Structure 1
């Protein structure tokens, strides 16, 4: 059998000597990572500095504060809504059976409420009493209800926004027809 040149050199020991000499001349290789072949090597993150930790803490504190503020605002809104419901219920209970509106009223009394001109239908006697301040108008559930002055004052104490009209007899001059002087068209 014919040995190849390579086999002959290995047997003689010359090749082994050359390999040893090359190893001594080359710098020692760095040890390889214990990771499997083909997987990316992960570098460890540098330790955070104190300023980065403070910044992270600041963001966490800020988020917590904002969450507490939102919760407080929601609670205040819920409380306001509850109080408003209670006031409306009180007014509704107070107005039961006390409304003076008439289905056959033929005269219109205009008044300003909520930045708009509103109207309520009254008869001649109610118009005179309304303009004299003996009657008032209360807004409830989208309707304008004619009530006595005493009842209008009670509604004002509960929720002043629901009192649509209550003429002060001393403040407005009234002519012989019962129409305020400033209301002449």
Structure 2
């Protein structure tokens, strides 16, 4: 009863047989230092290749990472190109507006207009107010300011970047308008 499993195996002779089989298989390798070689058994072998068209997970991740990197790089290049074009348009408009701004320091009236979904205002005198309402003058937005300019300059700004033209009344639309709203019921 006090015999351990090892002792029982040695008595039965099974352990000796296993040791003798191992020695018979590798007689050319002498044991080092009198101890049997330690290890996990057989050396690590690479997994078999799949030839039926399936790709392994690492390859799929590598392909995905590469496509994401190229997509990111393309998006960055596109954003840089858009920024460059915006800077060029802004420089053209700034050069066009030099000396053409008609804003005055001492004015007594305010012209309200809608721009960017909000009601904005620009300070003008009486002459400029009538000219704005007739379409002879326009308003251009630049660097957070609203600048009063002539109709020709406003048209040129529209051709460069229509988003910066804040107000330009169309004289043709004024001729068609009789001052009575279309939805007014008599």
**TM-score interval, normalised by the smaller of the two chains:** 0.7 to 0.9
Which of 27, 31, 47 aligns to 2:17? It is: 27
User: CA distance change for structure 1 residues 25 and 54 in 2, over 3 Å: closer, same or farther?
Assistant: closer
* 1:162 and 2:139 are equivalent in the alignment: no
For structure 2, the residue ranges without an aligned partner over 5 or more in a row are 1-10, 24-34, 181-186
With structure 1 as the length reference, what TM-score do the two structures score?
0.72
CA distance in 2, matches of 1:57, 1:95: 57
For structure 1, the residue ranges without an aligned partner over 5 or more in a row are 1-20
User: CA distance change for structure 1 residues 110 and 174 in 2, over 3 Å: closer, same or farther?
Assistant: farther
Contact (CA 8 Å) 1:152, 1:163: kept in 2 or not? Answer: yes
Q: Partner of 1:107 in structure 2?
A: 109
Q: Partner of 1:12 in structure 2?
A: none
CA distance in 1, matches of 2:168, 2:37: 90
CA distance in 2, matches of 1:24, 1:59: 50
With structure 2 as the length reference, what TM-score do the two structures score?
0.72
CA distance in 2, matches of 1:151, 1:76: 30
Q: Partner of 1:59 in structure 2?
A: 61
Shift of 1:114: 0.5
Q: Partner of 1:18 in structure 2?
A: none
User: CA distance change for structure 1 residues 33 and 155 in 2, over 3 Å: closer, same or farther?
Assistant: farther
Greater gyration radius = 1
User: CA distance change for structure 1 residues 33 and 127 in 2, over 3 Å: closer, same or farther?
Assistant: farther
CA distance in 2, matches of 1:61, 1:72: 17
Q: Partner of 1:85 in structure 2?
A: 87
